[in-house]
Structure 1
């Protein structure tokens, strides 16, 4: 696995939507119930129950989205004691949930710091150029469309699942797919783990193509132990949706200029010879 850190692809305007999406994701994560304690290392059953109730209301559940089978009993957020000991209480839902709207709310929820930071890193590196090419409004609509396509694609493949689905990965995968179509020759600085992290500058088609192949391999359950907890199929659908939407813009997108004298993605200072 390679870790992208910077792309050599300048933009013409400030990516306000990209920055706003990152800020919104971080803000929502910091205020998700039950996560503050887990980050600090003092998680409790009460926090876990509170988080489960929150996710049941705002996360996507494939069975609800495809078949509109809303559960009669949901976590209430309270702790109770049953025959098998303490656990989360369940009861009739005290809210009206829109399965379609939950696709949008779930795109701003994350299950941990690594989940959040990984997604935001990819969005920061690749989202600014796609926003620069599409414009602010169209990029926002594109981001949402890819997120919905990824979520519905995963839900159709797992229509009987009652497990909550959260994260911006599907929408960001769409951004990666668009970047591959529009800027395949752009150079991307990556860190490659080989004893130590080696910095390499590789073409975007190689970096993003390798990422897509990994998602396809992982979705089959090969080479990864958590294939059941990560929605790799959503990544694939989002990536393909981004490619399809961006394809008509391909002809009008010139290849990015590559400045000379680059040192790890930055302009190197001129050296004097004596």
Structure 2
């Protein structure tokens, strides 16, 4: 229902969010590599760097022998199934990530992003403990960024593309948009959606973002701001 376009929330502490843009660039680059692979190569790539619960639990050997099993708790976040999967995640990261990098600082933002990715993967593992399929996508890490935004800038205005009959750009408080997004994840979990979407990873990521934003924010950044 809501597709974010941009926010009205200037950065105040850094001159340029280069870590956020580097994450976007690296993720797009990995997908470009994926896109030139043959189907068997693509499968091996995803199995090797995606997060497979039974591999992380050391029940099955890792497809990539030189890669530590637990490293896929982060590497999976750079893989995507298709262009729509990639672009939707990168759009959310572009809209919300710069302000979180500003609020945390460059190094802590990078650590924060990886921690949210790992937390999302672990929550997915917890509820899919014997799953043989790989988890891929930046959604969990991006959900963490959205959780931090909800904690730090709930009153900031976000311009969203809102559609009832025709799409129209509409400025709304971030808390409204993010609350709808969280509610959607919970709804699909409750009804037991069969869509190939890692709902638990999304919720794990957003919870990690909510919790980590508090201790990792730089001094002087208040909670529940954005006015």
TM-score (norm 2): 0.91
1:212-259 superposed Cα distances (whole Å, 9 cap, x missing partner): 11111122345x551xx11011000110110011134499335346xx
- Between the aligned partners of 1:63 and 1:252, the Cα distance in structure 2 is 43
Residue equivalent to 2:54: 63
- Between the aligned partners of 1:94 and 1:215, the Cα distance in structure 2 is 32
Looking at secondary structure, tell me which structure has more helix per residue: 2
Residue equivalent to 2:164: 194
Residue equivalent to 2:40: 49
* 2:78 counterpart SS class: coil
Residue equivalent to 2:135: 165
Shift in CA distance, 94/59, structure 1 to aligned 2, threshold 3 Å: closer
Residue equivalent to 1:230: 197
**Is 1:243 matched up with 2:210?**
yes
Q: How does 1:1-274 map to 2 (within 5 A)?
A: 1-12=1-12, 13-32=15-34, 35-36=35-36, 47-65=38-56, 67-71=57-61, 95-221=65-191, 224-226=193-195, 229-248=196-215, 249=217, 252-253=220-221, 255-256=225-226
* 1:31 counterpart SS class: helix
* 1:166 counterpart SS class: coil
Structure 1: gaps of 5 or more residues: 38-46, 73-92, 258-274
Deviation of 1:198 after TM superposition, in Å, equals: 1.6
Root-mean-square deviation (CA, aligned residues, Å) is 2.0
- Between the aligned partners of 2:123 and 2:16, the Cα distance in structure 1 is 32
Is the CA contact (8 Å cut-off) linking 2:148 and 2:210 kept in structure 1?
yes
Structure 2: gaps of 5 or more residues: none
4+ residue stretches of structure 1 with deviation over 4 A? 248-251
TM-score (norm 1): 0.76
Report how many residues are paired. 222
- Between the aligned partners of 1:209 and 1:251, the Cα distance in structure 2 is 27
Looking at secondary structure, tell me which structure has more strand per residue: 1
User: Is the radius of gyration larger for structure 1 or structure 2?
Assistant: 1
Higher relative contact order (CA 8 A, sep 6+): 2
* 2:5 counterpart SS class: strand
Deviation of 1:98 after TM superposition, in Å, equals: 2.0
Deviation of 1:15 after TM superposition, in Å, equals: 0.3
